[in-house]
Structures are given as structure tokens and as C-alpha cells.
Amino acid sequence: MSALSRCGMREIPVRRDERGALCFVESERHVPFQIQRIFWLFDLAPGVARGGHAHRAHHQFLVAIGGGFRVVARAGGETAAYFLTPGAGGLYVPPGIWLDLDQFDSRAVCCVFTSHNYDEADYIRDWDEFAANSETRA
């Protein structure tokens, strides 16, 4: 199984009634890890890109809670692109996947659930280092 094949969209429950819609995410039910940290990106400048890194051990689950945006995932010489919008599910990303986020619309809000608290040592921010290691693990 390729590293990138472990990355993919997962359903998020949606409950609707006359008042509107409600979505929710639960640890180990909708995401395959215990959630330790949640953060979100918003008020993103036009044309901005985010991400540009991979994680050594952290699992992530990305959800659009406003607007829409594209996520490009890379590993082992493979690339997959996903466009996230509210209510469309969430993107599960295991460790060892390089992510680039872009094409944010003016209302975009990206919420990220992670398996660990922030740790700078977990980040791989150099593409050449990542690509060299990713190719050997593919």
C-alpha cells in the first residue's frame, strides 16, 4: 500500500432540520486517532498558500467549516488533490504526507484536528529532505 493511499476523504455526519445543519467529529469514530489539538485558518489573503510541510508522527484531519479550498497531498512520487467545502466530509492525512493548501475562496475557514500538540521537531519543512525520504518509503 502506498503512503498516499492512506490519505483520503472521510464522511462527517450531518444532521439537518428546519433550523439548519450540524456536523460533528469524534475521536476514533470519524478520525482514526485521539484528537489532541485543534486549530483553524481564516482571513486568508487572496492568492495565499499554506501548509508546505509534512509531519513525522502527527496525524491530521482537515475540514472546511467555511468557504472552500484545495489540498494537494504528495508522497512516494504520487500526488492527489482534494477540494474541501463545508459538509463535504474531511480529509484524513497520516504522517509522511506533504501538504500544500491553496485556492482559498474569500470565506474559507480550514479547521485542522491533530493527534499531537504542536512540536516543531515533528515538521519536515524542506521539500528535498522530504522527497528523498518519501521515495525510499514508497
Domain boundaries, the chain: 4-137
53 is catalytic: yes
Instruction: Please tell me the pTM assigned to this model.
Output: 0.93
Among 30, 53, 59, 116, the one annotated catalytic: 53
Give the per-residue pLDDT at 137: 56
CB atoms within 10 A of CB 15: 9
pLDDT tens, 51-105? 999 999 999 999 999 999 999 999 989 999 999 999 889 999 999 999 999 999 9
User: Which fold is adopted by the domain 4-137?
Assistant: Jelly Rolls (2.60.120)
Q: Please report which confidence band the pLDDT of residue 133 belongs to, taking 50, 70 and 90 as the band edges.
A: confident
